[in-house]
Amino acid sequence: MTTTGATGTATVIIGQRIRPGQDQAFEAWQSNMNREAAKYPGFIAAEVNPPTAVQADWVIVYRFDSIANVQAWLNSATRQQLLHDAQQFFDGPGTQQVIGGGARQSDSLVTVVVTHRVDPAAVDEFLSWQERLKVAESSFPGFRGTELFRPVEGIQEEWTALYRYNTADDLDRWLVSDERKELLAEGEKFNDYQSRTIDNSFGNWFAFDEHGSEAPPPSNFKTSLAVWVGVYPTVVLIALALWSLRLPMWFNLLIGNLLSSLALSYFVMPYFVNPLLKNWLRPPPGISVSKTNVRGFVLILAVMTVLSAFFYIVTRVLLHMP
């Protein structure tokens, strides 16, 4: 579940019930999980709260500097592997709340979010069915992990399941598979559900505002100029890196385009272009759009002039390239 919170930070509250006799082992595992989380960008702190007389769950709180960074951690292969290793400690699914804005994800995954309304009398059967779904989908190419969260009393009545795949094609293979159709038939009594797919590949370049909330994309003209600002330095730097290898042009372009696409998606657009041009791409309320546009054009001209001069000096003066 995602709710609105303080701008500029993101907090994840995870509740997890632990099997009797496993608390000490779980606490050691959780300490390792926190150490791994601290290695990720934007990490601020982690807190671990053991059960109390009024709370049966362990409660873990993570704080990051942005929704983008907290979602990168939640979706990471590191965390998915650690969760897989800890299944022996868990007494059923946990709960999760993300506080601090919309659910922006910087990892280029495709995620399916499915919410189920489950009769309390059928919870055990539902959990068994979900486990069969998990086993089946984990054998499909591109599977990156699944998580199941139980309801949060007073906040969220539905069970929430997340299924993550590398690409839309990987997801489609699972969605149209005979295995899934058979399992859905087995779980027909749980067909009171809603599903949505979140594609976080190239679309996330402009799909979110600076607070991580979903927002309409800028105009095609602004988008084109913004991509130009990102593409130019990316392509030149990669070309310089590959130049000394003397690769054939067709192979040079093949490798260069791949590296450029990865650099643009994971670094250049989210961490350089969008922050630099955010007020121009989406003028803040109460500010003159015309003035914002003029400032944006001037900023782009200044940035591209500086980049052009820098690369001229590097390529012509220092390296004597064509």
Q: Please tell me the CATH code under which domain 109-199 is placed.
A: 3.30.70.100
Q: What CA–CA distances, in Å, run from 261 to 43, 124, 165, 256?
A: 26, 45, 19, 9
Strand intervals (E) in the chain: 2-3, 10-16, 43-49, 58-64, 95-99, 110-116, 143-149, 159-165, 193-199
DSSP string, 232-287: HHHHHHHHHHHHTTT--HHHHHHHHHHHHHHHIIIIIIIIIIHHHHHHHHSPPTTS
- Spans of the chain below 50 pLDDT: 1-7, 101-107, 198-205, 207-216
CATH architecture of the domain with range 1-106 = 2-Layer Sandwich (3.30)
Instruction: Write the pLDDT tens digit of every residue in 10-48.
Output: 778 788 889 999 999 999 999 999 999 999 888 888 888
Q: Pull the structure tokens for residue 204.
A: 């996330």
The strand pair at 2-3 and 95-99 is best described as parallel
172 three-state secondary structure: helix
Instruction: Write the pLDDT tens digit of every residue in 202-245.
Output: 444 454 444 444 444 566 678 788 889 999 999 999 988 888 88
What is the rounded distance in angstroms from the CA atom of residue 259 to the CA atom of residue 261?
5
Instruction: State the span(s) of the chain assigned CATH 3.30.70.100.
Output: 1-106, 109-199
Task: Name the residue with tokens 């899934």.
Answer: 180
What is the rounded distance in angstroms from the CA atom of residue 316 to the CA atom of residue 115?
58
